[in-house]
Amino acid sequence: MDGFPLPLQVVFAFLLGSLLGSFLNVVIYRLPAGLSVVRPRSRCPRCGQVLSPLELIPIVSWVVQRGRCRSCQAPISPRYPLVEALTAMLFSLAALWRPALPELLFIWAFIALLIALSFIDIDTQTLPNSLNFGGIFLGMLGALLLGFPLPWPEALEGGLLGAGLVALLAGYGGLLYNRLKDSPREGPFGVHLVHLAAMVGAWGGLLGTVGGVWLGSLGLVVGLLNASLNARLGRVLALPDALTLGLAALAPLAALGLGLSPLESLRGLLLSAGGLALAGMFYWWLRNPSDKVDLEAEAQSASGYVSVMGYGDVVLAGFLGVWLGWAQLLLALFVAVLAGAVVGLVRQRLGGNNQIPFGPYLALGGLVAFFWGETLVRWYLGYIGLA
């Protein structure tokens, strides 16, 4: 869009964003319901009247109709124009940065995926694999073709470390919250193997700093072997979480005790755990490619074990890591936790009790880090007197 003056580009981005936001409303509603996102045409959910082209005009039609269906006067949720306006504003913001067109298309896709993921998570407490892995593949594709958003080695590392970090937060959090009780065993490719990979990766990374060959990714190999063994045997061989996660945490401490750098041990731990978590989720996605959410089945499968964070968040962290890189991903997580704490406190004051899942906060943190990450880091370094 380099040939056009900037105000025109921003207006175009706003219009395109509002149209895409209108499509995102359809995705948010239909994907978890297991319906096609392209057919049939949009209808009023109460009277079934097919919406006319005029009624499909983003934002404007809702305002003109004063938030009601033209046929049956049923109220239409303000969520629809909200999603359209949000998409339009973020698309304009991206255009204001004046990236080249291929890059701009990638940024718009990043925004659209995060908006869809956030609202689906709010509605269903799940993050669809198709959107999460779509973000990972798109980020890696851009990295390989354009070196954008990052050169591919940084994108890959960011994705693995990001998924590994959130997988371990889920692992240690679950272990503490459930008072060292073992998590349910899912065969052949369950959470236990992520914790095994973390343990082997942590000690491999440590031994690699002694022996010279980096062995931090060994955890990924061992985890995959364990998974294929489980599949062949038809039962689940797994070490208890308390053992694997306990030994994983000991490795960086041992490095400190031996006068070695704990960082290589931590790197092996996160890379192995992240790699295995993403491989495992990819395996389950291939086994069950539908994004349909069966809320009753989810509730019934509860075994008394409370997971503090879902593996959808793990894959989303991998998605963000691919796009942001490791350092900016940490900033995104920080913003997510901060925003979650602030909103949690406000809602407590107001007496709200229905929980907001973590996905929307992660998406918010991801967008803040993507657009303002470098500015924020520079400001912070200046603030503490380092730059």
Residue among 69 and 138 whose Cβ is closer to Zn ion? 69
Residue among 45 and 102 whose Cβ is closer to Zn ion? 45
Task: Say which residues have a Cβ less than 8 Å from residue 112's Cβ, sequence separation at least 6.
Answer: 20, 24, 87
**Cα separations in angstroms, 67 against 18, 55, 77, 79, 160:** 17, 11, 7, 10, 44
44 binds Zn ion (CB under 5 A): yes
Residue among 42 and 130 whose Cβ is closer to Zn ion? 42
Q: Binding string, 46-75, against Zn ion, x = CB under 5 A?
A: xx---------------------x-xx-x-
172 DSSP assignment: H
**Least Å from the CB of residue 4 to Zn ion:** 40
Residue among 71 and 178 whose Cβ is closer to Zn ion? 71
Tell me the number of residues near Zn ion by CB under 5 A. 7
Q: 38-47 b/e with 16+ CB inside 10 Å = b?
A: eeeeeebeee
**Least Å from the CB of residue 30 to Zn ion:** 18
Residue among 76 and 269 whose Cβ is closer to Zn ion? 76
307 binds Zn ion (CB under 5 A): no
Q: Binding string, 5-34, against Zn ion, x = CB under 5 A?
A: ------------------------------
Residue among 79 and 185 whose Cβ is closer to Zn ion? 79
Angle between helices 152-177 and 241-257 (to 10 degrees): 120
Q: Residue 75 pairs with which residues in a beta bridge?
A: 68
Residue among 61 and 230 whose Cβ is closer to Zn ion? 61
Other beta carbons within 10 angstroms of residue 331's beta carbon come to 21
Q: Considering only 45-53, 89-97, 267-275, 289-297, which stretch makes contact with Zn ion by CB under 5 A? A: 45-53
Residue among 44 and 270 whose Cβ is closer to Zn ion? 44
76 binds Zn ion (CB under 5 A): no
**Least Å from the CB of residue 76 to Zn ion:** 9
**Least Å from the CB of residue 231 to Zn ion:** 50
Residue among 78 and 382 whose Cβ is closer to Zn ion? 78
**Cα separations in angstroms, 355 against 113, 128, 348:** 22, 19, 11
**Least Å from the CB of residue 70 to Zn ion:** 7
Dist CA 227 CA 280 (whole Å): 9
Q: Tokens 């070695």 label which residue? A: 260
**Least Å from the CB of residue 272 to Zn ion:** 53
Binders of Zn ion among residues 266 to 305 (CB under 5 A) are none
Dist CA 199 CA 243 (whole Å): 9
Q: Do 1 and 98 form a contact (C-beta atoms < 8 A)?
A: no
Q: In which element (H, E) is residue 249 found?
A: helix 241-257
Closest CA to 24 of 106, 95, 119, 97: 119
**Least Å from the CB of residue 74 to Zn ion:** 5
Q: Considering only 44-52, 55-63, 130-138, 154-162, which stretch makes contact with Zn ion by CB under 5 A? A: 44-52
Q: Do 47 and 74 form a contact (C-beta atoms < 8 A)?
A: yes
Q: Dihedral of the CA atoms 187, 190, 195, 197 (nearest 10)?
A: 80
**Least Å from the CB of residue 43 to Zn ion:** 8
Binders of Zn ion among residues 122 to 181 (CB under 5 A) are none
**Least Å from the CB of residue 110 to Zn ion:** 34
Give the footprint of Zn ion on this chain (CB under 5 A): 44, 46-47, 69, 71-72, 74
